[in-house]
Structure 1
Amino acid sequence: MAHEVHKRIEEARAEFASLAEENERLGKLSDRTAELLRQTGVIRMLQPTDFGGYAAQPRDFAEAVMAIAAADPAAGWVAGVVGVHPWELAQMDRKLQEEIWGEDPDTWVASPYMPNGVADPIDDDNFTLSGRWPFSSGSDHCKWDFLGALKGDGSGTSMPVLPPEVMHVVIPRKDYQLIDDSWDVVGLCGTGSKDVVVDKAVVPKYRTVTQDDISNGVAAQRSGRPEALYKLSFGVMFPLGITAATIGICEGALAHHYEIQQSRVSATGVLSKDDPYILRAAAEAASEIEAARVQLIEGISRIHDTIAAGGEPTLQERSNQRRNQVRCAWRAVSALDEIFARSGGGAIRKSSPMQRHWRDAHVGLQHMIHTDGAVYHANSLHNMGLETPQGMIVVV
């Protein structure tokens, strides 16, 4: 039986699709699109039940994100990015959870996690934070932001400690500025992934967590939450929503391609439905995109089920999931390229949803979690039983 959120998404699918062009024009999600996301409950799927969430299976979350992204890539992307943050917040100090969700469980938190700032300790309980972070997706509709930062040495000069220590810092909207003209891009325009600027904001220690504690399961153990969901590693959970959105975008493009080919006549007068080459390419692409979906969902489900049964996934198993997650995105977008090239000249018109999905899918591949080099390198070392450089372990 489908999760109740899936049913609401299906009911709203046509409206999501109808708003996609407006979102692209605005350079952010429209208020109505944000309201639809709230009504579906997708952002609360990984949120703990004691704060109004579902604590859902990760596969249910991934499938919800795919369904939204198929209708509107920008909305699906925001759902995938913003929707994973409640999973990490559930592992942080309960006082912070009360601040964010205590009065409104539909409060959203944006990010980026890249350590573009320095969190300098000013005493035992507080830091001061400064920096500038690009790519804060959905930030216009969020009241808080997750920011990556290097821990400072406490000298007041914004010098990081050595060796570097990466922190995740959560700050309220009053403590940062969004740069409105900073999101000028060729794809995923409607995500509103603007730059965030922070200037000497004071951050209490309880609003921070080290990346090592999140990645190594220390924060999950400290949180005391019994659900297997919160014991999954950051390296397999954080990429899930982003890759799910990318696959969903490709699924939406495939649906548009089939719609185009039903009545399309080529310049040579041949009906697409009578062209075996177009039909073969479409079928092959459909299989590749479905393979991407199945592999992503099966992998995260297997790791979740191992934890739920009292086991602990090995580093090699987590590395295999990370490898497959990256490959799923590239496989799906490569399949999209094959059908876009055979969709005809009409597909490149700005009035065609096909071109938006094509652009958005390629921008989705630009996210750092889809960079394959280090992931594949580390995975090969894991599978050969060789020592993996410490810096590569963080990716799983």
Structure 2
Amino acid sequence: MPGAGPKPGASVPSGGDGNGAYARMIARAEALIPRLRERASRTEELRRLPPETERELHESGLFRILQPKRVGGSELDYVALVDGADAIGQADASVAWNWANLASHHWMLAMFDKRAQDMVWSKDADALIASSFIFPAGRARKVDGGYVLRGRWPFSSGVDSSEWNMLASVVSTEDEADGIEYRIFVVNKRDYKILDTWDATGLRGTGSNDVEVNDAFVEEPMTLAVSDLDGGPTPGSAINPNALYQLPVFSLFPYVLSGVALGNAQACLDDYVDIARHRASTYNRAKIGDLQSTQIKIAEASAKIDAARVIMRSTCIEAMAEARRGHIPDMAAKTKCRRDGAFAVNLCTEAVSLLFSASGARGLFTSGVLQRQFRDAHAINSHIAFNFDAAGTNYGRVALGLPSENLTL
């Protein structure tokens, strides 16, 4: 089993944790590692979270780490998404992916109008919220009291476990001369259809199915303009004043899920080291751990993982410090966040690929964990938030004085 406990760069975040709540919550995540690892094959077979996994995440309080304290959440610092996913990802990347997604939506809902928060949390503060932030997938039009929404959204992770869904859409108008408006809509499951489309090579257990909406009416308070998420006070700030709910959402978007890549890579490294300590070559019976090439690959992979952890955590901790100071990052800072998030996950993917290649033919067996970690690493890296070509190009454009191509920043 991967080594739980503190990793390089894994200090408790600044901002105050006098009662040890942060450390206790991460310890709860680490305590789940053995059971989640044992269940990983079944999670893949189900193509979604097993009921017992979902129950354990609820009972531990982990789904609610970023939810406001006023409704029973933990209201921890944003870096909790990285640290929690790092821990859970050492057991099963699919579970970590769903956990991080679903936990982050409590954080985002706290930025909506109080009426939206009450609509969801007054009925069930544990209610899970899925999402699909693919704006071109939907079209909404303004009507009296709200919007009419339609579209088909892919990659709605954890949707089968969720009561609600955050769906991103373009708002259509007769005259778009003033530009296109991007909004997020909180929709109840009665208003969308789940399409069983998720049969993937990696992250198989995430149940990232499509959802379809046909002209559903969404009340105005259940929507939020992307421009309200640029950083600084949001519609929810009146009742949730913590700086956590004033972070720039889409510039920090990679860090919702980057910890999944981190935990998966750490597990791959730990598993590989354990195998190399005891395995002899099938070809000549030489001890794998005595080979200089093995030792160098372990050093290179561990350096990439440690560097990725420092990048992810320091970015999140600094973002919280800036929000507490009331500082809203400019476009250069926002594109740097996106650049570094993609770069850090790419480092994790490189580490896993290096170790999988070094594992030889033994790594190909489906009974082993390395092949799943390899598949999951590349599935994680396929997310647009981790596409370094896209993030790097946009960073370079802004550095050169050109406008950002990412319209959600």
- TM-score band, normalised by shorter chain: over 0.9
Give the drift of 1:265.
Answer: 1.2
Which ranges of structure 2 fall in alignment gaps of 5 or more residues?
1-19
1:120 to 141, 153, 165: 141
Aligned amino acid, residue 73 of structure 1? A
TM-score (norm 2): 0.90
Change (3 A) 1:348 1:199: same
1:5 corresponds in structure 2 to 25
Amino acid at match of 2:78: P
Query: Cα deviation per residue 1:99-119 (whole Å; 9 max; x = unaligned)?
Result: 211132211100001121111
Shift of 1:222: 5.5
**Partner residue in 1 for 2:14:** none
The answer for the alignment partner of 2:9 in structure 1 is: none
Q: Which runs of 4+ in 1 moved over 6 A?
A: 159-162
Match of 1:344 in 2: 360
Q: What CA deviation, in whole Å up to 9, does each residue of 1:21-46 have, x standing for no partner?
A: 10100111111111122122222111
More helix by share: 1
- Is the CA contact 1:92–1:223 (under 8 Å) kept in the aligned structure 2? no
Q: Which residue of structure 2 lines up, in the alignment, with residue 388 of structure 1? A: 402
Match of 1:134 among 143, 154, 160: 154
Alpha-carbon contact 1:109-1:145 (below 8 Å) kept: yes
Tell me the alpha carbon deviations over residues 192-211 of structure 1, each in whole angstroms, 9 at most, x when there is no partner. 00000111111111111111
Structure 1 window deviating more from structure 2 (102-111 vs 168-177): it is 102-111
8 Å Cα contact 2:66-2:107 kept in structure 1: yes
1:232 matched to 2:247: yes
Query: Matches of 1:257 and 1:287 in 2, distance apart?
Result: 15
Query: Matched residues in 1 for 2:321 and 2:178: separation?
Result: 38
Given that 2:231 and 2:246 are in contact with CA atoms closer than 8 Å, whether structure 1 keeps it comes out as no
Deviation at 1:75, TM superposition (A): 0.4
CA apart distance, 1:282: 0.9
Counterpart of 2:277? 262
How much does 1:367 deviate?
0.7
Q: Secondary structure at the match of 1:389?
A: coil
| CA apart distance, 1:221 | 7.3
Q: 2:61, 2:110 → 1: CA distance?
A: 17
Counterpart residue number, 2:292:
276
Query: Residue 108 in 1 paired to residue 128 in 2?
Result: yes
Task: Give the letter aligned to residue 262 of structure 2.
Answer: I
Distance 1:234 1:20 in 2: 31
In 1, the alpha carbon distance for the partners of 2:376 and 2:49 equals: 14
Structure 1: distance between partners of 2:158 and 2:327: 36
Cα distance between partner residues in 1 of 2:228 and 2:401: 22
Q: Aligned in 2, Cα 1:342/1:207: closer, same or farther, shift over 3 Å?
A: same
| Aligned residue identity for 1:333 | T
Determine the C-alpha separation between the residues in 2 that align with 1:57 and 1:121: 35
Question: Displacement of 1:246 after TM fit?
Answer: 1.4
Structure 1 residues 172, 390: CA separation in 2 closer, same or farther (over 3 Å shift)? same
Q: Which amino acid aligns with 2:213?
A: V
CA distance in 1, matches of 2:381, 2:393: 18
Mean Cα displacement is larger for which, 78-87 or 317-326?
Answer: 317-326
Identify which of 87, 104, 113 aligns with 1:67.
87
Give, in whole Å, the separation in 2 of the partners of 1:319 and 1:280.
34
1:3 is paired with a residue whose SS is helix
Alignment of 1:173-184 (within 5 A): 173-180=189-196, 182-184=197-199
* Alpha-carbon distance in 2 for matches of 1:391, 1:313: 17
Rounded Cα–Cα distance in structure 1 between residues aligned with 2:366 and 2:189: 35
Q: What letter matches 1:209 in structure 2?
A: L
How do 1:1-396 residues align onto structure 2 when only pairs under 5 Å count?
2-115=22-135, 116-123=137-144, 125-153=145-173, 163-180=179-196, 182-217=197-232, 219=234, 223=238, 225-266=240-281, 267-383=283-399, 386-392=400-406, 394-395=408-409
Cα displacement (A) at 1:217: 4.0
Q: Which residue identity lines up with residue 289 of structure 2 in the other structure?
A: K
Q: CA RMSD in A?
A: 1.9
- How far the C-alpha of 1:160 sits from its partner, in A, is 7.7
Give the CA deviation at 1:371. 1.7
Amino acid at match of 2:408: V
In the TM superposition, residue 216 of structure 1 has moved relative to its aligned partner by: 5.0
Is the Cα–Cα contact under 8 Å of residues 398 and 404 in structure 2 kept in the other structure? no
CA pair 161-206 structure 1, distance change in 2 beyond 3 A? farther
**SS of residue paired to 2:216:** strand
Q: Which amino acid aligns with 2:241?
A: P
- TM normalised by structure 1 equals 0.92
5+ residue gaps, structure 1, are: none
Measured in 2, the distance between the counterparts of 1:195 and 1:313 equals 34
What secondary structure is seen at the aligned counterpart in 2 of 1:58? coil
Contact map agreement 2:130 2:164 (CA 8 A) in 1: yes
Q: Which amino acid aligns with 2:40?
A: A
Find the counterpart in structure 1 of residue 16 from structure 2: none
- Of 224-233 and 276-285, more deviation after overlay is shown by 224-233
Aligned AA (2:108): E
Asked if the contact 2:234–2:246 (Cα under 8 Å) also holds between the matched residues in 1, the reply is: no
Verify the 8 A CA contact 1:316 1:379 in the aligned structure 2.
yes
CA distance in 2, matches of 1:5, 1:101: 21
In the aligned structure 1, how far is the partner of 2:189 from the partner of 2:68? 22
Change in 2 beyond 3 A, CA 1:220/1:284: farther
